[in-house]
Structures are given as C-alpha cells and as structure tokens.
C-alpha cells in the first residue's frame, strides 16, 4: 500500500516519544483502564522511562500514541510487539485510556490504522492479539472488525491477582486484501 498514512479521519498514530510517557502513566494507573490490561500496575514515570529507554531501539516492536486529529490530545496507545519478520507476524496491542472517548469508535479507528500499518508497511502476513475473556467490549469490537477467534486459552494469564482466561484472535493479510473496510479509515 503505497504512501501509507498514519492519519485517519479522527485520530492519527504518532510514534511513541518520551513526551507521551506522562499520559501513558496516567492511563495505566487509572483503575478502570487497568482492569482490561495486563501492564505493570501501578507504574511510575521512572519505571516507564526505563521501559521506554530499553525498548526505543528494539526492532521487534513499534509503539504509537493515538492522538485526536483536531486537538492532538492523546487518547490512547497501541502498536506491535514480538514482531517476527521471518514468520511475518506480530502481536497487536491497543488501549484507549481517555474515558471520555470510550464507546465512540476511536478504538475501532485505531485497530484499522494499526492493521493497515501491519500489512501495508511492515509487510506482515498475520497479526494476532490476546483479549481477556471478561472484556466483552473488546471482544465485540474485534469481531465486528472481522478478526477471527482462534480459541480460548483457559487459566492462561495472571491478571490482577488471579488466573484468567483469554482469547487468541488473528487477522490475516488475505482477509485484509479482500476488505475495503480497513483501507478506508
């Protein structure tokens, strides 16, 4: 996809920079946001800066801040980890931390931009993600976007003091190529 654009109609993806870390910490330390995530909790600026310094040059990941096109306010974060260029796959992560933006389709916009980036720019053939089985909002969003649920991983992750089930979902390049839905964000 020539000329990949990191901008949608309402949001854009901006490579994660040190200046975004305060907002990331704010979101990650919010109990309502955190209950759907598996990031270190609570976290601090110092710990997040150390994480950022360690990962900024890691070629097996790419991290973005999601900003509103109109105001440039940060509303969330997402990207890819465990990028395996030989196997042409990566794990997607995403979260909208600005609660005023929940339920307004910003997460869907973020998924679309990330999917287009994965297949159009990174040249991947498969992207996948994990979702806590109790996160019905995320499950509904990904299913409506055409993601395939590969299976339920029972007692798979330690999250917030207990073992929890999570789903493994995927999206393939062949599905993306046949869909105008993603390319028109």
Q: How far apart are the first and last CA of the chain?
A: 14
pLDDT band at 181 (very low <50, low <70, confident <90, very high): low
Kindly report, residue by residue over 97-149, the tens digit of the pLDDT: 999 999 999 999 999 999 999 999 999 999 999 999 999 888 888 988 999 99
Domain boundaries, the chain: 11-183
Kindly report, residue by residue over 54-96, the tens digit of the pLDDT: 999 999 999 999 999 999 999 999 999 999 999 999 999 999 9
pTM: 0.92
C-alpha distances in angstroms, 98 versus 26, 43, 73, 104, 111? Answer: 10, 17, 10, 11, 16
Q: Cβ distance 62 to 83 under 8 Å?
A: yes
Q: Which of 133, 118, 121, 122 is nearest to 169 (CA)?
A: 133
For domain 11-183, say whether CATH 3.40.630.30 is its number.
yes
Identify the residue whose tokens are 């996948």: 128
Sign of CA dihedral 181, 177, 167, 90: negative
């Amino acid at each position: 996809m020539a000329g990949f654009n990191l901008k949608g109609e309402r949001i854009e993806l901006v490579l994660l920079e040190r200046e975004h870390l305060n907002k990331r910490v704010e979101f990650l330390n919010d109990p309502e946001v955190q209950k759907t995530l598996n990031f270190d909790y609570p976290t601090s600026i110092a710990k997040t800066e150390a994480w950022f310094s360690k990962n900024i040059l890691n070629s097996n990941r790419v991290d973005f801040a999601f900003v509103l096109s109109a105001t440039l306010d940060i509303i969330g974060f997402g990207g890819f980890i465990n990028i395996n260029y030989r196997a042409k796959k990566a794990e997607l992560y995403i979260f909208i931390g600005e609660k005023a933006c929940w339920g307004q389709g910003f997460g869907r916009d973020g998924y679309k931009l990330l999917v287009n980036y994965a297949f159009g720019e990174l040249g991947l053939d498969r992207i996948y993600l994990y979702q806590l089985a109790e996160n019905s909002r995320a499950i509904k969003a990904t299913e409506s976007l055409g993601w395939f649920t590969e299976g339920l991983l029972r007692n798979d992750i330690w999250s917030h003091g207990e073992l929890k089930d999570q789903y493994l979902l995927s999206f393939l390049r062949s599905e993306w190529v046949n869909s105008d839905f993603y390319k028109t964000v």
